[in-house]
């Protein structure tokens, strides 16, 4: 048996999320079909995180076990051949020890959320970025974001269907940056609650629009009440950018 770690990118628009679902197109389903075509037998692909419908990835990590070991340098090319025409690409494949697990061995995850400030509707970037038609105050958004850094009870930013055992998480970073009319919200943590990032971004945009003051973010965090949260940002602008493991550069 050969265990292989994959680094994957995908466009989330055609898929009902990462997790395999009967009669629905999913990223895991596409990868498992490609792996079965390569290995000649059913293969389970384990992902580092379950992204929602419409959410993208530039650095998702997964692992699989192949019953027929082969040169690792050929595995990515072979999987990509069988993935066509899916909007999924294996960027890298490497052999790992049998105790490696894409999800449980992960030490951190990084997400990036993209916002485009403009009045005109999107043409080329539709589904890949959140268009906000009014100017946003990035300084105030960062001031609000600072209230969320560290260990907190994030119940306010937790989806009702979240299956995590505890709402307590630690945000290591949460940064808001502007590049002309493009705004990026980046965040890192060991793990996240279901829709936590999108819930945070939606509330930050309310602050940026002047609908709330930065201190409001602290108030709703301390409320530990989902109904206190601002609107949830759409899936369009969210990207799983990186998953970190011991020994990574």
Query: What is d(CA 148, CA 236) in angstroms, rounded to the nearest whole number?
Result: 23
As a whole number, mean pLDDT of residues 10-37 equals: 97
What is the overall mean pLDDT for the chain? 96
Q: Give 168's strand partners.
A: 153
- Cβ contact 9:65 at 8 Å: no
Asked if domains 2-95 and 108-244 share a fold, the reply is yes
Q: According to the CATH classification, is domain 108-244 in 3.30.70.660?
A: yes
Phi-psi region of 243 (alpha: psi -120 to 50; beta: other; left: phi over 0): beta
**Overall CATH class of domain 2-95:** alpha beta
User: What is the predicted pLDDT for the residue at 182?
Assistant: 97
How confident is the model over 87-109, as pLDDT tens digits?
999 999 999 999 999 999 999 99
In angstroms, the first-to-last Cα distance of the chain is 27
How confident is the model over 167-208, as pLDDT tens digits?
999 999 999 999 999 999 999 999 999 999 999 999 999 999
Q: What is the DSSP letter of 235?
A: G
User: What is the predicted pLDDT for the residue at 161?
Assistant: 87
Tokens 């000649």 sit on residue: 40
Residue 197 parent element (H or E)? helix 196-208
Whether residue 163 has pLDDT greater than 80: yes
159 is catalytic: no
Q: Phi, psi (5° rounding) for residue 203?
A: -70, -40
User: CB count, 10 Å around CB of 151?
Assistant: 11
Query: What is d(CA 136, CA 134) in angstroms, rounded to the nearest whole number?
Result: 6
Whether residue 116 has pLDDT greater than 80: yes
* Percent of the chain topping pLDDT 90: 94
Q: What is the DSSP letter of 227?
A: G
Domain extent listing, the chain? 2-95, 108-244
One of 11, 52, 146, 159 is an active-site residue; which one? Answer: 52
């Amino acid at each position: 048996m050969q265990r292989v770690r994959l680094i994957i990118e995908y466009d989330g628009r055609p898929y009902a999320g990462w997790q395999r679902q009967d009669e629905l197109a999913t990223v895991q389903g596409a990868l498992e079909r490609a792996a079965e075509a390569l290995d000649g037998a059913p293969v389970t692909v384990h992902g580092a995180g379950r992204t929602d419908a419409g959410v993208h990835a530039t650095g998702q990590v997964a692992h699989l076990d192949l019953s027929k070991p082969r040169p690792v340098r050929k595995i990515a090319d072979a999987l990509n051949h069988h993935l066509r025409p899916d909007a999924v690409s294996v960027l890298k494949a490497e052999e790992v020890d049998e105790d490696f697990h894409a999800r449980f061995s992960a030490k951190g995850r990084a997400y990036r959320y993209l916002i485009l400030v403009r009045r005109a509707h999107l043409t080329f970037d539709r589904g890949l970025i959140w268009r906000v038609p009014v100017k946003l105050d990035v300084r105030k958004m960062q001031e609000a974001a600072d209230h969320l850094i560290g260990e907190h009870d994030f119940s306010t930013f937790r989806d009702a269907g979240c299956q995590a055992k505890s709402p307590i998480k630690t945000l290591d970073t949460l940064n808001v940056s502007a590049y002309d009319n493009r705004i990026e919200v980046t965040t890192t943590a060991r793990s996240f609650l279901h829709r936590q990032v999108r819930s945070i971004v939606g509330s930050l945009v309310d602050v940026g629009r002047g609908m709330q003051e930065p201190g409001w973010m602290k108030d709703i965090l301390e409320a530990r009440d989902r109904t206190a949260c601002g609107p949830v940002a759409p899936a369009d602008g969210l990207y799983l950018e990186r998953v970190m493991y011991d020994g990574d550069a």
